[in-house]
Every structure is written in structure tokens, then in C-alpha cells.
A and B are shown apart, each in its own frame.
Chain A
Amino acid sequence: GNSVTQMEGPVTLSEEAFLTINCTYTATGYPSLFWYVQYPGEGLQLLLKATKADDKGSNKGFEATYRKETTSFHLEKGSVQVSDSAVYFCALNTGNMLTFGGGTRLMVKP
């Protein structure tokens, strides 16, 4: 079956630090890959996506590249802000069925 594994949190960084949240997946077929973000007290927002190998999704300074050879979709940001503090979920979709990772809490300190 499909599965998504992401690094456990919390990840605590100082403002302007570089962020990497690792995500690897197991899937049959050719999944689309997603990062969702959940700010405190809110629902899930789509942060970025990639639908085929070597695609790079980007939004709000965040980037992730679909790496088929390593089955990975790591999330990166060059300089985090306090406002980026949230829970980040990696997910895949092979056709109507979203499979989520466990979520990674990011805490950014001023």
C-alpha cells in the first residue's frame, strides 16, 4: 500500500535559518505529491505540489522537488520566519486517495 514518512518534530529554528523537512514515500504507480500546512487553530492549506518526476513545487519561499529515484519530496525554505510556525504535512495521491504523513511541527523563534 501507499505510505508517507516524514521527519518527526518538533523542529525548532531561529528566524532566518534554513529549513529542511524530509519526506519519503512508497507508492504504486505515479503519485502526485503535496505539502500542506496547518497554522495554529486553522484547517489545512495546500502549500505546494508536484505531479511528475523532477517537477519543483514552490510557494511563499518554500520549495520541494519530486525525486523519483529517491522517492522523496523534501520541503525547503532558505530563511524561515516566525509566521512559518505551523504543522507541515507531506501527502501523496495516486487517484482520489490522499495518504498523509504524520506531520512535522515547526517552531520558529525570534
Chain B
Amino acid sequence: SAVISQKPSRDICQRGTSLTIQCQVDSQVTMMFWYRQQPGQSLTLIATANQGSEATYESGFVIDKFPISRPNLTFSTLTVSNMSPEDSSIYLCSVEQGALKETQYFGPGTRLLVL
């Protein structure tokens, strides 16, 4: 399976600021995914990022709030903009693998606390 790293692993931020989260994969992948996990909750897909095209956002998530970059086949960033305490969550990236691309493997997550 792919080895996925994320930076930072955790951060404490002030409201109104922005944080960019990096996701690095050890192999080339077509699609990368960004998820949010609010405290005590399950995972919610924010967006899907393909290299060379704009990210596709799920309902309830917009590009102005969560801009995503995908400059190459091994790297992506998610920015959480103009943060509020409600943005306090774990943010995870994932990649798909398997013969039918059916399996997703996750990074270790970025734990964000907004004060």
C-alpha cells in the first residue's frame, strides 16, 4: 500500500487565520481525497483532487473556504481559510489503490484546534 505523510501533524491556530496542510505520497496516484473528521464523528469527504484539474467539492464545502492544490501526482495541499472554532477537526488525505481502485489508504491526519 502507498505510504502517505501529512504536515503538520497538529496545530493550534487563532480564528481568522489560514492553515495549509500538505499531503505527500510515495508513489504516483491519479486521485487524492481530502476528508474532515469532526470531534467524535465519522469522516466526511471534502473534495477529490485530480492532477491538472480543479478539485471537485462535495455539498457543503466550497473552494473559497477549502482551496486545494494538486501540482503533481504525488502531492496535494488543503488550505483551511479564515478559520473559526467550528473548523477544529482532524483533516485526512487519502489515495486510492487496488486493481479496481476500490481501496483508499489514509494519511495519519492533521489535528487542528482553532481558538
Contact = CB atoms under 8 A, between A and B. Distances in A.
Interface residues of B, number: 23
Contact of B42 (A46, A93, A97, A101): A101
Interface residues of A, number: 20
User: Interface of chain B, helix or strand or loop or mixed?
Assistant: strand
Contacts of A51: 100, 102
Contact of B108 (A43, A93, A96, A98): A43
Interface string A26-47: 0000001010100000111110
Interface in A6-65: 32, 34, 36, 42-46, 49, 51
Interface in A85-110: 89, 93, 95-98, 100-103
Contacts of A43: 6, 90, 92, 106-109
A102 B104 CA distance: 17
A44 B100 contact: no
Contact of A42 (B48, B103, B108): B108
User: Interface of chain A, helix or strand or loop or mixed?
Assistant: strand
Contact of A96 (B6, B48, B107, B109): B48
B42 A96 contact: no
A89 B102 contact: no
A96 B45 contact: no
